[in-house]
Structure 1
Amino acid sequence: MKITTLKNLLKLVMIAGMISLSNHIYSQDDKQVKKEVQVQEPYEGLQLKLNDNWKIKFSGQVNAYYVITNQKEDVVNGIEEETFHSLRNGISQATLSFMPQYTFDDGTTVVSTFGLAFGLSNSGVDASLPQSRGFGFAPVEIRQASIRINTPKHGSFLIGRDFGIFGLDAIYYDLSIFGVGANYSFATPRNTTLAGVGYGYIFVDKISQLNYTTPSFFGNTSTLTLGMYDPFASFDIYGAFGTPFGFTNNPKNVGVHGKYAFNKDFKNTNVYFSSAFISQDIGDNGTDSDLSGFGVDAFMKIKTGGLTLSGYYYYADGIGDAGLMFGPAIQVGSNIETVKTQGYYAQATYSFKDSPIALGVNYGASKVKDQVVGNNLEYSESADRLTNSLSYSFNSNLILKSEFTLQGRHKVFAPEANVFSLGAIFLF
């Protein structure tokens, strides 16, 4: 089936009703805490109930770390060995979600989500500034502004700006979601790190989208989400359409994405599986190259007792490497070809029974088919990282966390380095 046919089919699906993503919300709930600590009672966030129909929920988190990054020498790329110290947040900025909810008599709920992200470093105000400056201020980003409609029998709907579908579970269940993981911008810390972005998965990003999620089926174990989104212009880091590191125009057609999710308990073991896809045209700056990108992934998580094992894999052709549409195409001789990427990670976490201590380890790697050899494309060396995690939970809201990461060189984002972090996360 051609991509254009698939897009037209999804447009008809969208006309039939409004929309929603799956149950993932970037604001903190107990599912995220359970990755590292066993929680006795579910935490529902701060809520203000106005009457039987209206309530308002507030939730969010603040994390802060002392980070030591030992940059390794790379003679070929002119990088010297240096050690950098910084006080910063991890991959997640501080977040605050404000969610008014109205419940109809039949059980249908309408939720508006307003998600804000706050950086800790004033060097993030203007990327052109070489360092943090006095009288600076941390930026604020509106990450989410969406409407969710959840019906008891007919599924759920989402429209607005929210986190996407492809790659969502990879970052959502990464043990570094509130940690540091792989680092970049060592000398002038920005308001995020990489965790495993570019080291096993592509960043899901915030997308203007319209989605429909089916009611649960197969014995209330499965859901299917289909949707369309406002497509991204490509960040032309390979110079396929002109100057390297330039942006192309936005594609004219919408992008499409979807996801299947399975979740079931087997006695004392929970199994969660998902697979998502994404597809859109590639902006070409008027070259009429008529290129399109497609990506598919698979994620599995098995939890038994205090042990949780997770695995992720993705393959993409013309979607990018670390970011969506970051370098989706490259010039090979007189032709422009899409860049193929693939990545994976394997992760294990263990929470000791009746103990606040949890351990975790994650190994991930990405490969990119972006080396021009003669008139052919070949895969470059993997960008990989190994992260070890230790956390101590005073309760489900306050967690002390330390990580040590060995990160390989990522050609675009970061050199080889060892990264140590120690800090805290407060969730509410």
Structure 2
Amino acid sequence: MSAFIYASEARADDYTDLLDILKIKGSLTSAEYNGLLAKHLRHLREAEVSARHADTPRTRIAAADRPHGVHGGSVRHLPAVSEAPDDTQVALAQARSAAAQAQASAAAAQQALLSTRSEMNSPSIVRVAKYVPGKGVTFQAGPIDINFSGFVNGFYTFNSPEGGMPVAGGVSTGNSGFDTSGVRNGLLPAGLLVKLSTTQDGLDLSANFGFYPGLNNNDPGAFNANSGGSPVGLGTAGLDVRQVFATVGNKDIGTFKVGRDLGLFGSDAILNDATLLSVGSTGSNANPANTSLGRIGVGYVYADWIPQISYMSPKYHGVQATVGIFTPLDEFDYAGLNPSGTSYSALNSQHSSPMIQGKVTYDFTIGALTTRIWSSFLVQHQQHLTSGSIAASTNRSATVEAGDIGTKITLGRFEGVAYYYYGSGLGTTGLFFDGINASGRKRASEGYYVQGAYKILPRLKLVGSYGTSNLYQVPGENDPLLVRRNESEVGALYYNLTDWLTLLGEYAHTRSAAHGPNHEADDTMSLGAALFF
């Protein structure tokens, strides 16, 4: 009987596991779970007690109390009293019945446990992975992970011009002559990112989609959803579909990417820019576009989202390299009034070879100091350059080259970033904006920014940065209105109210100067919030 009791206790553990699983799945409430578990344990205890009593028969009369006498030298014994009275037989029967019930219950629990485990491992079951702040929500449908992540932001922005004269290609709004208010996005619009990933035949595969809607009315121009907005009733916001790409690879062979995504040259510059989460330079606050400029054009050239086929190597001792071919982009006369050569045409664009970009990063840690160093490059051959001084029949061309280097360090509560770029034909603000002069010769450009952030409190961070972008004329060129320098200083406070929500307050001072006497400046105050999930 004891052996049976111990076996019954072992099966009881399976029954308890079943109750735990049913509770986790939501089939049982906490009250139901506690009640069933208590009842099950009580039955087991009753069965054990009854079985132990049945294995030890009671004797009603002790031998010392038995009547005896002497007759003819012999001892006369009274008839023996039964050692298994009726109540003991009943208890034994009850114990056996309880044991049989417990055995049947344990067998049923074992079968239910196996069935439940099989159902939970079924590819038709959709599960939700453990949530990690900032990593989005992941659903697991069999072998496929479906991740949703994104962000929403909005700022009240007040821009006050300090005056000045227009600068062609400048990013300051100082010459506008009037104050402007707006509720707008910052450097980031809103975003919804969807990623489907799985592993097949030893390869990690993913499909990625990035949808970026703005707050203000859309008024498409040369820059599509990034053009200035339309402050007129009955408008609708624009949708910027920046990301559509697939990846394939693994940690041993590296990763290949095909589709539209952020370029390599200048990508670390914008991803480490603190104004990515705020506003920075507005560009224009009178008719806000989907985004502000942040530090674009005042410290780095925008990396842009470009169709590409690229390869990223495995990381080796902290070193990782990426290289790819990209859809070539035209030279563009951003300054206007034809001071720059261009290959941009609404009807025709000619490129016989792709743009090539590459990047190398090195991550390492020394004690409490964590560091990343990166460097990237860009090469593209521009063809069929035209301007007021270049005839279309001349087939003028130029090869654009650019490179950069940057670092980010983290030490305790402090975080610092330093970045520098140089280009020949690269231009300023956007890729190939005003990079070629009206005669078809390449202009040099360079820029940098430095940034420091310090956590005053665990949730409160103070950020300050300065940056400048310079565009040089070629020898013999004389265009006094063309931008020579854009620069800005930014100070901001970031308060993490929750894992998702950050409150922000920022001040930015932006200046633009031409190659002649013209210059302008403006001040911007922004207050708002950004939510990331």
CA contact (8 A) 1:401 1:424 kept: yes
Structure 1 contact 101–111 (Cα < 8 Å) conserved: yes
Contact 2:332–2:341 (CA under 8 A) maintained in structure 1: no
- SS of match in other structure, 2:163: coil
Q: Extract unaligned runs of 5+ from structure 2.
A: 1-131, 168-173, 387-391
User: What residue number does 1:426 align with?
Assistant: 531
Of the three residues 124, 141, 144, the one matched with 1:50 is 141
Change (3 A) 1:337 1:399: same
1:130, 1:95 → 2: CA distance? 18
Structure 1 residue 394, shift from structure 2 partner: 1.3
> How far off its partner does 1:177 sit?
0.4
Change (3 A) 1:214 1:193: same
| Aligned position for 2:399 | 292
SS at match of 1:416: strand
Kept in 1: contact 2:339–2:482 (CA 8 A): no
Secondary structure of the 1:121 match is strand
Q: Match of 1:348, as an amino acid? A: G
Task: Report the CA distance between 1:307 and its aligned residue.
Answer: 0.3
CA distance in 2, matches of 1:86, 1:188: 8
Paired position in structure 2 for 1:90: 186
After TM superposition, the structure 1 = structure 2 runs for residues 69-218 of structure 1, keeping only pairs within 5 Å, are 69-75=159-165, 79=175, 81-104=177-200, 106=202, 108-124=203-219, 131-217=230-316
Establish whether residue 397 from structure 1 lines up as the match of residue 500 from structure 2. yes
SS at match of 1:252: coil
Residue number in structure 1 paired with 2:408: 301
Residue number among 26, 46, 59 corresponding to 2:149 in the alignment: 59
Q: Do the aligned partners of residues 113 and 130 (structure 1) sit closer, same or farther apart at CA in structure 2, a change above 3 Å counting?
A: closer
Distance (Å, rounded) in 2 between the aligned partners of 1:130 and 1:76: 21
CA 1:194–1:99 in 2, change beyond 3 Å: closer, same or farther? same
Q: What CA distance in whole angstroms lies between the structure 2 residues aligned with 1:180 and 1:86?
A: 12
Q: Does 1:279 align with 2:379?
A: yes
Amino acid paired to 2:367: K
Letter in 1 for 2:382: I
CA–CA distance in 1 between the matches of 2:146 and 2:463?
35
Q: CA deviation at 1:162?
A: 0.4
Instruction: Give distance in 2, aligned partners of 1:278 and 1:187.
Output: 34
Query: Is this contact kept in 2: 1:98–1:115, CA < 8 A?
Result: yes
Match of 2:359 in 1: 259
Alpha-carbon shift at residue 405 of structure 1 (Å): 0.4
1:152 deviates by 2.3
375 and 92 in structure 1: CA distance in 2 versus 1, 3 angstrom threshold:
closer
Structure 1 counterpart of 2:510: 407
Q: Secondary structure at the match of 1:360?
A: strand
Matched-pair contact (CA < 8 Å) for 1:123–1:188? no
SS at match of 1:236: coil
- Report the 3-state secondary structure (helix = DSSP H, G, I; strand = E; otherwise coil) of the residue aligned with 2:179: strand
TM superposition shift of 1:43: 3.7
Separation (CA, whole Å) in 1 of partners of 2:342 and 2:245? 36
Q: 1:242 to 1:394 in 2, by over 3 A?
A: closer
Q: Please point out which of 418, 442, 451 is paired with 1:338.
A: 442
1:371 deviates by 7.0
Higher relative contact order (CA 8 A, sep 6+): 1
Report how far residue 71 of structure 1 moved: 1.1
Q: 1:314 aligns with which of 388, 403, 421?
A: 421
Structure 1 stretch displaced more, 141-150 or 70-79: 70-79
Q: 1:32 maps to which residue?
A: none
1:125 Cα shift? Answer: 5.1
Check whether the contact 1:198–1:366 (CA below 8 A) recurs between aligned residues: yes
Q: Is the 8 A contact 1:372 1:378 kept in 2?
A: no
In the TM superposition, residue 148 of structure 1 has moved relative to its aligned partner by: 1.1
Conservation of the 8 A alpha-carbon contact between 1:63 and 1:94: yes
Could you say if the C-alpha distance between residues 242 and 216 of structure 1 is closer, same or farther in structure 2, counting changes exceeding 3 Å? closer
Q: State whether residues 234 and 249 of structure 1, in contact with CA within 8 Å, keep that contact through their aligned partners in structure 2.
A: no
Alpha-carbon deviations, 1:75-108, whole Å to 9, x = none? 47693532111000011110111111112363x3
**Which is higher, the Rg of structure 1 or of structure 2?**
2
Query: Residue 103 of structure 2 corresponds to which residue in structure 1?
Result: none
Cα distance change on mapping 1:383 and 1:76 into 2, 3 Å: closer
**Secondary structure at 2:512's aligned position in 1?**
coil
SS in 1 for 2:269: helix
SS in structure 1 of the partner of residue 493 of structure 2? strand
When residues 166 and 377 of structure 1 are mapped into structure 2, their CA distance, relative to the original with a 3 A threshold, is: farther
Cα–Cα, structure 1 residues 109 and 189, in superposed 2: closer, same or farther, change >3 Å? same
Given residue 79 of structure 1, which amino acid in structure 2 is its aligned partner? N
Instruction: Describe the shift of the 1:279–1:225 C-alpha distance in structure 2 as closer, same or farther (beyond 3 A).
Output: same
Larger fraction in helix: 2
Q: Secondary structure at the match of 2:270?
A: helix
1:329 matched to 2:432: no
Q: Which moved more, 1:208-217 or 1:341-350?
A: 208-217
In structure 2, the residue matched to 1:20 is none
The Cα of 1:240 is off from its aligned counterpart by 6.3
Q: CA 1:423 to 1:368, structure 2 compared with 1: closer, same or farther past 3 Å?
A: same
Q: CA deviation at 1:73?
A: 1.0
- 1:222 aligned to which of 307, 319, 341: 319
What secondary structure is seen at the aligned counterpart in 2 of 1:187?
coil
Aligned equivalents of 2:152 and 2:477: distance in 1? 50
Residue 290 of structure 1, CA deviation: 2.3
Contact kept, 8 Å, 1:124 with 1:191, in 2: the verdict is no
Alignment correspondent of 1:5:
none
SS, match of residue 301 in structure 1: strand
Amino acid in structure 2 at the alignment position of 1:281: H
- Cα 1:203–1:410, aligned 2, differ >3 Å: closer, same or farther? farther
RMSD: 2.8
**Greater share of strand residues, 1 or 2?**
1
Hey, what's the Cα distance between the residues in 1 that align with 2:321 and 2:300?
22
Once residues 217 and 530 of structure 2 are traced to their aligned partners in structure 1, the CA distance between those partners, rounded to angstroms, is 20
Number of matched residues?
Answer: 379
Q: How far is 1:326 from its partner?
A: 1.1
Q: Distance in 1 between matches of 2:162 and 2:345?
A: 29
